[in-house]
Amino acid sequence: MKKNRIAIIAILGTGLLILVALFGRVIANPDAYLFSTSGDAVKSYYNFSYYLKYDSGIDHNGINYPYGDHLQYINSHPLYLQVIKFLDRFIYPLSEHGVGILNLTMIFSLLLAIPFIYLVLRKFSLPPWYAGVVSLIILFLSPQVDRLGGHFEMVYAFFIPLFWYLLIRWHEASGKGWWTVLLLTTALVGGFTSAYYAALLAIFTMAIFLVQLWNHRRNLKGYLPEGVHLLMIAILPLLIVKGLVTITDWVDDRPDNPWGFFIFHSNVFSIFLPPRSILREVISGIVDISYKWEGRSYVGLPATLLALSFFITMLLQLAGRKRPDLKSYFPNKKLNLYLAASFIVLLFSMCIPFKWGLGFLTELLPPLKQFRCLGRFSWIFYYVFTVFTATYLYYLYRIVRKRGYRIPAMALLLIILSFWGLEAASRIQKSTSRIFNKNELFSTSGGDIRIVLEEAGRSADDFQGLFFLPFANTCGDKLRFERGLGAFSEAMRCSDQTGIPLVQSFSPRISLSQAMSSIQLLADSTIYKQRVDDMNRKPLLLVIAPQELNPRESDLLDRAEVFWSGKNFSLATLPVYAFNKGFDSWIELANSLADSLTCTGNLCTNVNPEQVIYIDFEEFSSDRVFTGSGAKYLKKGSMELFSENLYERCSGSEVELSFWLYVDHRTDNMPTPELWQWDNDNKLIHKEKLNSREVHNVDGMWVRISKQIVPEPGIRYQLTVRGKQITVDDLLLKPAGARVVIRPEKGDYLFDNFRVPVATDR
């Protein structure tokens, strides 16, 4: 025990020196730097800083105005924020130092991981000096260090080693109560830092449970009490985290099928090949070794060579019909349990077996799909396999030493450790090479917005919310507007300094209906902006970045009053009624024209009805309809909407094609509309994907897809929609400029394929 204390103090001192050498500038002035100026990183800084200054409780009111959002869903370190908020309120004022607190927390959390990695190594009979050196290597080579560039809540590298160490002690103990409490506490603290930690620790524990079931297959009844206990440790934190968040969440339509489950996973190359090396370039010329960044968990060349030597030796033994002696490969019985479990977790991180045509299994366990970045689960394997490599190298060292080659054995071991250490040094250097960005966003060094407002005769209290242009927002992973991310950063600067909440949000788990209502704010004047009804009469503060605006954005800016212009952005007053300017006039136009058009059945128009195609899909039964009682639905595949020679119907005049597409929470993406052009010989001339991801014309959970076409003679036009959970309603093709009213027997009617409420008090 005394040796451990001395060694831990020594490696903590060494680790501290390394961190000071790497982050000295940040430690000296933590508020002055941003580890990244990318969208995810800036958003994390903003969420943390805004809450400290202006919020309390479980809701974050700085985004998604006027609704706000739940802390657990916006990468805000919810539990840690409560601790800092308590300190700020009762001990020492901290609210103005959110950026610095977050920076220092990430830096010194790395130091906290060192003793737990060391203690795990010591549990597998490694000497203190060796365990100390290896613990530093494992930490600084860790894939979690890469998260300093974004996804800050995933930097905390101590959770997995701490939990593993507690599991080892739990297995060793005769009385498991105390260790159970510590395991559950660790998992809960992790879960309320990020749900990924609760999932990581749970799947590791469940994998251990499966391995133990196999090990005790001849005496399952005898193992059952311990197995149930272990399963409880795995599942209970997940249930508590999910249960408390569900109970306290005021939103019931968050996306439950986030995109990425089948994309962001690991593979053999992301684990065993360095991110950049000559070896990688050589192999990439032979096989496809591509993978997403989220799947990277490189274990280092010594670990890679060990795995490769095991694989080749076993193959040769099997080829020679010789049964491999597993004891020589896996001599440490205590470690083998965790190694086997980590391999199961590794398969899961590789999306196995789901990517092998068994994706339907996720429907049996829907919570699985909430974790879009399966590659993160490979971190479990990283820590276990690097520990296994360290123990096996020392095992070989002892064998060679016993044979009388003490000095060569030590020399070889030190060479291997030195190379492994150089890899770790290179990794941490690359991970920290771009983090010293001057903090010009969450400080007054770039100008105090409150002073700007005061000099313009305004104050933060004059505004109810903040809107920015160019527009940026997301609706889960379905509708995404990323062109205005630069403006988003400037808007977060203004919000952080003034306390004025942002209307937009870039959270993938935000309420679908609320995200849609935000996107709708830039819809045509033919659509009423529902979000305005939940706002008060105060104006919005409009932040405009020096970037080209699209026509809708320009129209909105024309309705605002610019009162200040700077290098990076301008400020304007935007009255909330500006969003619905023109809607009442459009309703009046629709009502006045409705009775003056020539009608054929329920279709009324001012042009030849033969030039109009309208499909209401009423013959299809659906519980999701835009108007009427029917809509066309396809669970998966390609749906044809029409196929026709449009020139014969419309000659060469421009026509407008439009239809309504449902935004379905049951899938992780938007369906893809495609317009095909075929000649008389049925040969494909052209295929075009229609925009279904960046659409502002939103009505409820429907988006209006439109396309202008100039029909050409001899060309057959075919419209299809490809994807999953496709629902389409109300397709209209008409000459551009023509007026078309669709009058159903009851309910709302359509004017130029926009819905007109039958009765409105707008």
Strand 540-544 and strand 465-469: pairing? parallel
The confidence band for 445, taking pLDDT boundaries of 50, 70 and 90, is low
The pLDDT score that the predictor gives to residue 548 is: 92
The pLDDT score that the predictor gives to residue 595 is: 75
The pLDDT score that the predictor gives to residue 557 is: 95
Provide φ and ψ at 463, rounded to 5°: -120, 140
**Which single residue is written with the structure tokens 């050196």?**
133
**Please, which residues bridge with residue 754 across strands?**
751
User: Quick check: 110 pLDDT over 50?
Assistant: yes
Residue among 487, 467, 489 at smallest CA distance from 559:
467
Q: Find the mean pLDDT for residues 155-160.
A: 96
pLDDT digits (tens, 9 = 90+) for 469-491: 999 988 777 888 888 888 999 99
The confidence band for 278, taking pLDDT boundaries of 50, 70 and 90, is low
Report the half-sphere exposure of 603 (CA within 13 A, side-chain side): 19
pLDDT digits (tens, 9 = 90+) for 70-88: 999 887 889 999 999 999 9
Spatial distance between the Cα atoms of 673 and 667, rounded to a whole number of angstroms: 16
Average pLDDT, the chain: 90
The pLDDT score that the predictor gives to residue 504 is: 94
The pLDDT score that the predictor gives to residue 419 is: 95
Percent of the chain with pLDDT over 90: 69
441 touches 41 (CB < 8 A)? no
The pLDDT score that the predictor gives to residue 280 is: 65
pLDDT digits (tens, 9 = 90+) for 550-575: 999 999 999 999 999 998 899 999 99
Q: Which of 225-234, 293-302, 442-451, 623-632 has the lowest mean pLDDT?
A: 442-451
The pLDDT score that the predictor gives to residue 483 is: 87
Q: Kindly state the tokens that stand for 126.
A: 């490694």
User: Quick check: 760 pLDDT over 60?
Assistant: no
User: Quick check: 693 pLDDT over 60?
Assistant: yes
- All domains in the chain, ordered by first residue: 449-583 (no CATH), 589-756 (2.60.120)
Q: Find the mean pLDDT for residues 335-361.
A: 87
Positive or negative torsion for Cα 95, 99, 100, 106: positive
What is the H or E stretch that residue 239 is in?
helix 220-248
Residue among 115, 190, 118, 201 at smallest CA distance from 155:
190
Q: Kindly state the tokens that stand for 455.
A: 């000099």
User: Quick check: 287 pLDDT over 90?
Assistant: no
- Count of other CB atoms within 10 angstroms of residue 294: 23
Whether the upstream peptide bond of residue 237 has omega within 30° of 0, thus cis, is no
User: Quick check: 135 pLDDT over 50?
Assistant: yes
Q: Find the mean pLDDT for residues 666-676.
A: 91
The confidence band for 230, taking pLDDT boundaries of 50, 70 and 90, is very high
pLDDT digits (tens, 9 = 90+) for 722-751: 999 999 999 999 999 899 999 887 778 899
User: Quick check: 759 pLDDT over 70?
Assistant: no
**Which single residue is written with the structure tokens 């597993």?**
326
The pLDDT score that the predictor gives to residue 745 is: 74
pLDDT digits (tens, 9 = 90+) for 12-37: 999 999 999 999 999 999 999 999 98
**What does the DSSP 8-state code read for residue 470?**
S
User: Quick check: 761 pLDDT over 60?
Assistant: no
Spatial distance between the Cα atoms of 21 and 18, rounded to a whole number of angstroms: 5
The pLDDT score that the predictor gives to residue 366 is: 64
Q: Find the mean pLDDT for residues 376-383.
A: 96
Q: Find the mean pLDDT for residues 502-516.
A: 90
Spatial distance between the Cα atoms of 635 and 725, rounded to a whole number of angstroms: 4
How open is the CA angle 258-264-266, to the nearest 5 degrees? 145
Q: Find the mean pLDDT for residues 52-59.
A: 92
The confidence band for 652, taking pLDDT boundaries of 50, 70 and 90, is confident
312 touches 149 (CB < 8 A)? no
The confidence band for 360, taking pLDDT boundaries of 50, 70 and 90, is low
The pLDDT score that the predictor gives to residue 307 is: 93
